[in-house]
Amino acid sequence: MESLTRRKFIRQTACAALGTTGLLSTIWDLRRVNAATTVGDYKALVCLFLYGGNDANNVLIPNDAASYQVYSNARGSLAIPRTDLLPVTLATGDGRHFGFHPNLPELANLFNQGKLTMVTNVGTLVGPTTRNDYVNGTAAVPENLFSHEDQAVQWMTSVPDRGDIRTGWGGRSADLLASLNGNSKVSLALSIAGTNTFEVGNTVIPYLISPGGSLGLRGIGSRNQNAITRIQGFKNLLALPHTNLFEAAYADTMSRSIEQNEILSTALRGVTALQTAFPSTDLGRQLAMVAKLIAARSALGMQRQIFFCAVGGYDTHGDQMAAQAGLLTELSGAMNAFYSATVELGVDQSVTTFTASDFGRTLPSNGGGSDHGWGSHQFVMGGAVHGNKLYGTFPTLAVNGPDDTEDGRWIPTTSVDEFSATLARWFGVASSDMSTVFPNIGRFAHPNLGFLG
């Protein structure tokens, strides 16, 4: 089992605190369904959060001679040799040439098949921001810019200018669409990577599950008669009247968790084993569980599901070349297996997977790695993706260039709001509800980037 690092502990407890506060906040009346969808139309969103800040400068690299030389000069010791790049073909035919990191062969293949795309230079923004405004100090910028914890949460909330937001855009989307799941007793939002703000809604409460299955209660989880008697006794205690608010809240949460655990465990036992082989990595195991949960969708009564997976280690201040190579190998293999599993299940058109990360990283090297950046590039994968294309504006790879803060950090040209709203629209959130899910979306010109059909 992975050791609990100080950073991971701080991150998880911070997210848990945010989630708990959000659940106690005023309940919005979001249970109406004013959505561009119909009952029976299954869809799932899968968020892959890369904690630490993935250096996307070495994920998507210019691959024509002149542009590559500019990149190489700026990156110095961090430059990937051009001969190692995996060429990707752009369907736009605009004359640009790019390559993927050599440890992303599966994702390069999916890109060339049209099943994967990238959104370039996307990041947290209060509003459209120019270099002049930033350098002159006149631009409104996200709170605590370049901070891991703050920027990760802002990616999840899509609200970078208010620290009092306690729900994520996934959770707010789930609030609107939960009624599509009818009387299902299992939460629309399922996390295989612990607590997170992304899935916290005002009415929807995320349910945590491990890569090995539903967690249950320790000591009373077996199915022998003694265990059955113990769990029934515990249920009876929870069902007693509770006048104390905290006791009542505890009893309600525990009762709901026990019920969901029993439903999930039964449904997962009924799933036919997939033929798709997943890599034996942290992310591979998480996505294998997501695939099983999708396979159990009918038994669970699900028309909409949101999943959260995550891996750490992307804070590559040192030893970046080796560290990132291993991380990208894990990412590419796990994402490819998951896409294959959706094809096997016949839901590849209905499942969209996307990456997110705290921020990008600096273009210049700090000696052995790179430092905290801002704008970055993100993957979007699935049968509904309009692939073979890049969306957004690829930055000019020049320190002190038009997209730079002055130190090799890209000022995002596409906001998290625009990126996330495109995903939410595909998921079924109606145009009339976009401002509820994304309070700042009206500040930006492209609420639908067009990368999903």
Domains of the chain: 30-217+246-443 (3.40.720)
Looking at the DSSP bridge assignments, the partners of residue 191 are: 208, 308
CA distance 314 to 51: 6
The angle at the Cα of 333, spanning 327 to 336, to the nearest 5 degrees, equals 135
pLDDT tens sequence across 175-223: 999 999 999 999 999 999 999 999 999 999 999 999 999 887 766 656 6
Residue 10 has pLDDT above 80, yes or no: no
CA distance 129 to 122: 12
- Reported as a pLDDT band with limits 50, 70 and 90, residue 378 is very high
pLDDT tens sequence across 111-141: 999 999 999 999 999 999 999 999 999 999 9
Kindly tell me the sign of the dihedral angle through the C-alpha atoms of 74, 76, 80, 83: positive
pLDDT tens sequence across 36-65: 444 459 999 999 999 999 999 999 999 999
Alpha-carbon separation of residue 448 from 182, 393, 435 (angstroms)? 28, 15, 13
CA distance 409 to 364: 9
What pTM does this model have?
Answer: 0.90
